[in-house]
């Protein structure tokens, strides 16, 4: 009986070790920490357009989550070189793993860092930053 107990103990240790290795591998590969719902992020640098008739900012926002982002809003963050208004989205909803173009108007073509707070239903807002040279 002593020989059988040693074999069972060794098999039990082997099963526990394999289970721990599998759990660690799953954690490292992101199975337990995968992004869910709506996760917004700024995609790229954005750009500023200055002209006689229009002063605007164009930037891209990406949805890295697993659900479609709806009810997207953009708000001017206080402290921008000139106020931002009239933001539009194309498309108006962001499917998972895709981006939308955000176009906002500036009241004046002033140099500096502009920040726009973008949020969607069920998502943590993202502060999109764009530097304008004028």
Query: Angle at Cα 85 formed by Cα 83 and Cα 90, nearest 5°?
Result: 140
Band the pLDDT of 109: cuts 50, 70, 90: confident
* The two three-digit tokens of residue 56, written as one number: 């605007």
Length of the chain: 134
Average pLDDT, the chain: 87
Question: pLDDT of 19-40, one tens digit each?
Answer: 999 998 888 877 665 556 888 9
Residue 116 pLDDT > 60: yes
Closest CA to 38 of 68, 80, 17, 60: 68
| pTM, two decimal places | 0.69
Quote the CA–CA distance of 71 and 36 in Å, as a whole number: 18
- 40-132: CATH topology is Immunoglobulin-like (2.60.40)
Per residue, the 3-state secondary structure of 67-128, as one string, reads CCECCCEEEECCCCCCCEEEEEEECCCECCCEEEEEEEEECCCCCEEEEEEEECCCCCCEEE
Q: What is the pLDDT of residue 53?
A: 78
C-beta separation of 12 from 19 below 8 A? no
Helix (H) or strand (E) holding 129: strand 126-132
């Amino acid at each position: 009986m002593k020989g059988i107990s040693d074999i069972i103990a060794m098999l039990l240790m082997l099963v526990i070790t394999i289970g721990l290795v599998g759990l660690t591998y799953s954690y490292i590969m992101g199975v337990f920490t995968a992004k869910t719902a709506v996760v917004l992020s700024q995609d790229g640098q954005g750009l500023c357009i200055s002209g006689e008739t229009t002063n605007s900012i164009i930037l891209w926002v990406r949805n890295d989550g697993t659900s479609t982002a709806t009810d997207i809003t953009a708000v001017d963050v206080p402290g921008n070189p000139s106020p931002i208004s009239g933001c539009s989205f194309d498309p108006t909803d962001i499917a998972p793993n895709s981006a939308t173009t955000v176009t906002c108007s500036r009241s004046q073509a002033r140099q500096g860092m502009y920040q726009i707070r973008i949020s969607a239903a069920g998502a943590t807002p993202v502060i999109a930053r764009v530097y304008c040279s004028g």
